[in-house]
Amino acid sequence: MEIPKSMLDGAFTNLPLDDVYFGPGSISKLADALDARNVKRAVVVTGHSIASNAELIGKLEAALGPRLAGIYSETHAHVPRSSVLAVAEFARSKGADGLVSFGGGSPNDTMKAIGWALAEDVQDEDEFDKFSTKFEYPDKLEIPALTKQPLPTFAIPTTLSAGEFTAFFGITDEKRKVKDVFHDSKLTAKAVILDPELTLATPEWLWLSTGIRAVDHCVEQLLSSKAQPYTDALASHALNMLYRYLKDCKKDPHDLAARGQCQVAAWLSFFSVANVTLGLSHGIGHQLGARCNVPHGVTSCIMMHNVMEYNREVTLERQAWIADILGVELQGDVLGSAIAAKEAILGLIRDDLGLPWRLRDVNVTEADFELIARDAMQDLIVATNPRKVSSEADVVALLAQAY
């Protein structure tokens, strides 16, 4: 289907990501990437499950050789401020001159947060307040910048959430139970390694749900009011790849070709996110994670299809185009095709991949709705949703629909 012609007017900004290596065995490129930036004492940031996997750690140690200064494995989901300070102190004690994340979104966000904490010499949790993005609905925005150059960072993801391709990160203020966003292009990874062999130990639910997170990146970019041909090209191709290859991963978890295709698709899904605005699925998802401890991939499994329905009236033609991208049989008119797109994505989540698709499935209660809505209205991404969000009541109604 064709999207109506419109006047183009905008710009595209590339983040300073130098290299992406992909394919089985690509972890062997890590040493070259560090040597090119003169990194001699790299600290690795990871989680318990990877640190306890002798095979994975063995491959990492072999790839780093004498450049490995230490491994920190006490990272936590949703990246509480206290954990960032603990890892930063570990990096200081090891004389780190570079940082490597190994794992999913939490190690990656932790690594970026450490980079910020070390650059600005943050020693206390409350000191993060002056650096976090401040937003007051509908349009009051302040994004503090790093004042010093951070250590170079490198990412080895084992999930599909794709945060390693961004220059922002979120960490949770445990006192407020709110996830704050920090942003500076200097935090962009110097190199990312997409090695499907390193993902075989990733739990199936995590691999597949973060794959749906990547689908959510695609959908919200395609429906963005700031979408442009370059972002459309990446997001549409990534969406088609994910819709096909996530099913193959479910059928055969050891299919390295499918896993590698999903990794590249996740890269495409988020590479251009600095140039578009996202929406309610991501905005609500941030706070579902911080307040209710719902993994980010799972928040997309639950919120994305509901947000598509909420946004349908203002993104009708583009939602119909999504059906075409997915290869879904078009339903005769634009509205029918748009509905078919939402149903296809829900079917992928619920039926093909067997993932949670309602808030009640992840122990979020109706009593949580008002607090989630309050926090979401302070998230910039909610204000950039294609359909205007007028009040907390709009968010509560959407949460009720997702329940």
The torsion angles phi and psi of 187, rounded to 5 degrees, stand at -85, 0
Residues of the chain with pLDDT under 70: none
Distance in angstroms (rounded) separating the CA atoms of residues 179 and 193: 27
Q: How many helices (H) and strands (E) does the chain have?
A: 15, 10
What string of DSSP letters covers 67-129?
GEEEEE----TT-BHHHHHHHHHHHHHTT-SEEEEEESHHHHHHHHHHHHHHHTT--SGGGGG
The predicted model scores a pTM of: 0.96
pLDDT recorded at residue 76: 93
Distance in angstroms (rounded) separating the CA atoms of residues 77 and 47: 9
Using alpha carbons, select from 192, 191, 194, 212 the residue that is nearest to residue 158.
Answer: 194
Whether the CB-CB separation of 221 and 306 falls below 8 Å is answered with no
pLDDT recorded at residue 7: 92
Q: Scanning the structure block, which residue is given the tokens 């997702």?
A: 402
pLDDT recorded at residue 50: 97
Whether the CB-CB separation of 109 and 78 falls below 8 Å is answered with no
Kindly give the pairing relationship between strand 98-103 and strand 153-157: parallel
| Amino acid letter, residue 239 | L
**Taking the CB of residue 58, how many other CB atoms lie within 10 A of it?**
10
Helical segments of 150-203, H only? none
**Taking the CB of residue 93, how many other CB atoms lie within 10 A of it?**
11
Tokens of 402: 């997702």
Reduce the secondary structure of 301-330 to three states and give it as a string.
Answer: HHHHHHHHHHHHHHCHHHHHHHHHHHCCCC
Kindly give the pairing relationship between strand 168-173 and strand 178-183: antiparallel
Using alpha carbons, select from 183, 185, 169, 80 the residue that is nearest to residue 133.
Answer: 183
CB neighbour burial string for 275-295, b if at least 16 within 10 angstroms, e if fewer: bbbbbbbbbbbbbbbbbbebb
Cα distances (Å, whole numbers) of residue 288 to 180, 210, 334, 373, 383: 13, 15, 32, 10, 17
Distance in angstroms (rounded) separating the CA atoms of residues 263 and 193: 10
pLDDT recorded at residue 6: 87
Distance in angstroms (rounded) separating the CA atoms of residues 135 and 77: 24
The torsion angles phi and psi of 103, rounded to 5 degrees, stand at 145, -145
Q: Which residues contact 309 (CB under 8 A, 6 or more apart)?
A: 342, 401
Tokens of 156: 């080895």
Dihedral Cα 338, 278, 304, 4, nearest 10 deg:
10
pLDDT recorded at residue 3: 82
Helical segments of 276-378, H only? 280-292, 296-311, 316-326, 334-347, 369-376
Q: Count Cα neighbours of 124 within 13 Å in the Cβ-side half-sphere.
A: 4
What string of DSSP letters covers 116-172?
HHHHTT--SGGGGGGGS-EEETTTEEE-PPPSSPPPPEEEEESSS--GGGSSEEEEE
Tokens of 130: 């002056």
pLDDT tens-place string over residues 188-244:
999 999 999 999 999 999 999 999 999 999 999 999 999 999 999 999 999 999 999
